[in-house]
Structure 1
Amino acid sequence: MNIEDLAGQRLMAGYDGTTLNDQLKEYIREYRVGGLIFFARNLIEPKQIEQLCRDSQAYAKDQGLPPLLIAVDQEGGPVARLKPPYTQFAGNPGIKSEEDAQEYARVMAKELLEAGFNMNMAPVMDVVPPDFDSIMIGRAFEGGPEEVARLGGYVIQYLQEYGILAVAKHFPGIGRTTLDSHLELPYSHTPRAQLEAEDLVPFQEAVKKQASGVMFSHILYTDLDPDWPASISPAIVSLLREDMGYTGIIMTDDLDMGAVAKQFPIETVIEQFMKSGSDLALICHPGPNIKTAFNIIRKGLESDPNLLAMGRASVQRMLAAKQGI
């Protein structure tokens, strides 16, 4: 791949629209994006969704690009972008057994594949402490770390057996968080030893189950990295990649969210994303940030041999995930 393709493949973009419009064509043609993420604003009914996904993949192929990762947040419960007639699930709190997980994954994968998606931003692997007013209540599996690991592991296993790339989130765990990172930057002062004994347990199972992706949170964990939120932290990327042995795609949460956008200019965020060793940057809203991110990544790859080597490794991980789609 040339530098432009290497740069663009590390971006997953959101857009406004319900068809392959000029904005979406620009993202694919000019910024060479590796993935798209669609939200309720893009998704009306099955035929339109299928056409949108099909047209996007065809246009990427025409532009000489690998297949797109086409992702959606379809957890069930309060986070379900696909509305009826797609099956509506209760989400993680409704999954109590391996049989529940398998049935969820079977139906979910069938409907997502038919619609044209190949990646689901699920399951949530966050652990909610007992009697804690967590931001993740209603989205997390019920129970302690081992039960979250068990049920989440089954969801990952079966989603991927049925043909959908699974993404475990939000590393290293946001179950103790009460502040919404869509709006502000939350801080976590949980000691590393406690994180390892509790919050990281489900993610170790995600590593074991070979989850295609792991999404990082926008929380600043002071005992792991006092300077950078997890999503752009070299220390926390190293924790997952080196200490826990994860070999799949590491991705940020949406870099347009207030937790990072209010704290740092986009230029700083993307430069730090590259230094961190993360693979895929999510920018889920249209605007200049996608162009800015592409240009910064491209310049970094051109000017720094270390960033180029890291970038090639990131794209190789993404291409490996795309082999089966």
Structure 2
Amino acid sequence: MPELSDMTLDEQVGQRLLVGFDGTNLTDDLKYLIGTLKVGGVILFAPNIESPAQVASLCADMQAYAADCGLPPLFISVDQEGGPVARMKEPLTLFPEGTPALKTREAARHFGSTTGKELFEVGYNMDMAPVLDVQPEGFSGIMEKRVFPGSPQEVGDLGVEVMETLEAEGVLAVVKHFPGIGRTTLDSHLTLPVLDTPFTELARTDLVPFEIAFGAGASAVMLSHIKYTDIDAQWPASLSPEVVKGVLRGRMGFNGVVMTDDLDMKAITCDMDTAARQIFTSDVDIALICHRSDRYETLAETLKAMATRFPGANALALGRILALKKKMAALAAT
């Protein structure tokens, strides 16, 4: 694993990008993303997936190419929550009722262990799960089919079971979507949800599962694309210094890796140059962007310019990312 002092600025900036790509094998463009843009990770979706054997070959080829380029191992990620969000299909084990059916610690452990084992076997090292969003009692929101049942405490406890069993099988868990999206009926893929929920109410409910997960050693968290006006009236959580610096890192003391949700979602209305500046100044470590476009290069160029101006902040972010990659390697070795 390269140390920060051994990495060029381009290599450092690339580690802050986790991207989607086109194709089902190691194409020239994928080689460009890894070898030239030097991305730190990738995420696979249905168009990238044909079979477990094909995914295993693709993952091995990507990791080998990154190593040939002298780069750290890639985060190779997928959304495998069960239920409606499961990119890998049969013959992997499916949990068709999803997270709402994981009502006991035993059920949560079974899901995490089975999913982690099967993902690791085909080359993944990161699952964008578990979902720690809390849906208020009696409310039917956008996350209804994706959330754990029960109180905020129960959501946190069940989420920790999934997190720990995924990681016991060698797959990093990314808890999501901080500070919670259980209160909206709007889909951030399509628009920007805006909520005026008082922070005191969020602290009493939505933040509780994340506090539990952080206390149990969560290493990575994904932000939501929701604007919480009582915290930050200007920016959605994924681009908000008040949410990340103020609440997540400040009040809650989280010092792990923080990533955005997909910056291609319609909730993000600013240009990528502005988004990159917000990512940098908000202490967000990784920009997730899932659909190949010239936005990748725009993000990289602006992050590079910001890293040149603020090398100390960039070094802190890279330190967190490289620490997570060292944890990833340690999990794989056990």
Pair 1:296-2:302 in alignment? yes
Is the 1:300–1:307 contact (alpha carbons within 8 Å) kept by the matching residues of 2?
Answer: no
User: What's the TM-score, normalizing by structure 1?
Assistant: 0.96
Change (3 A) 1:134 1:309: same
What's 1:210 paired with? 217
Q: Kindly report which structure 2 residues correspond to 1:308-319, keeping only aligned pairs within 5 A, or say none.
A: 308-319=314-325
Paired AA for residue 321 in structure 2: V
Q: Kindly report structure 1 stretches of 4+ aligned residues shifted beyond 6 Å.
A: none
State the distance in 2 between where 1:157 and 1:310 align. Answer: 26
Alignment check: 8 A CA contact 2:172 2:328 kept: no
1:314 deviation in Å? Answer: 4.0
| 1:269 counterpart = 2:275 | yes
CA distance in 1, matches of 2:314, 2:266: 29
Residue 86 of structure 2 corresponds to residue 80 of structure 1: yes
Structure 2 Cα separation of the partners of residues 185 and 274 of structure 1: 21
- Tell me how far apart the structure 2 counterparts of residues 18 and 298 of structure 1 sit (CA, whole Å): 29
Q: Is the 8 A contact 1:218 1:259 kept in 2?
A: yes
Q: 1:258 matched to which residue of 2?
A: 266
CA distance in 2, matches of 1:315, 1:136: 29
Q: Do residues 63 (structure 1) and 69 (structure 2) align?
A: yes
Q: Quick check: 154-163 or 2-11, which moved more?
A: 154-163
Q: Specify every segment of 5 or more residues in structure 1 that has no aligned partner in the other structure, as ranges.
A: none
The question of whether the paired residues in 2 share the 8 Å contact of 1:165 and 1:211 is answered with no
Task: Give per-residue Cα distances to partners, 1:102-149, cap 9 Å, x unaligned.
Answer: 111111111001110000000100001122121001100111211111
Give CA-to-partner distance per residue, 1:53-94, whole Å, 9 cap, x none: 000000000000000000000000000000111110132111
Taking only the aligned residue pairs, the percentage that are identical comes to 48
Secondary structure of 2:115's aligned partner: helix
Task: Give the corresponding residue for 2:191.
Answer: 184
Residue 111 of structure 1 is matched in structure 2 by 118
How do 1:222-237 and structure 2 match up within 5 A?
A: 222-237=229-244
Q: Distance in 2 between matches of 1:152 and 1:70?
A: 21
Q: State yes or no: 1:31 paired with 2:32.
A: no
**CA displacement, residues 278-303 of structure 1 (integer Å, 9 cap, x when unaligned):** 11110100010111111111121123
Question: Residues of 2 paired with 1:165 and 1:102: CA distance?
Answer: 15
Which one-letter code corresponds to 1:35 in the other structure?
Answer: G
Matching of residue 244 in structure 1 with residue 255 in structure 2: no
Matched, 1:156 2:135: no
Matched, 1:5 2:18: no
**Separation in 2 of the partners of 1:305 and 1:164?**
31
Match of 1:50 in 2: 56
Gaps of 5+ in 2: 1-6
User: Secondary structure of the equivalent of 2:174?
Assistant: strand
Match of 1:287 among 293, 300, 316: 293
Answer whether contact 1:67 1:322 (CA < 8 A) is retained. Answer: no
Q: SS at the partner of 1:135?
A: coil
Letter in 2 for 1:210: G
For 1:105 and 1:307, the matched residues in 2 are separated by 34
The 1:308–1:168 alpha-carbon spacing in structure 2 relative to 1, beyond 3 Å, is: closer
Secondary structure, aligned partner of 1:150: helix
Is 2:178 aligned against 1:171? yes
Amino acid in the other structure paired with 1:76: G
**Mapped partners of 2:306, 2:219: distance in 1:** 26
RMSD across aligned positions (CA): 1.3
Distance 2:199 2:216 in 1: 23
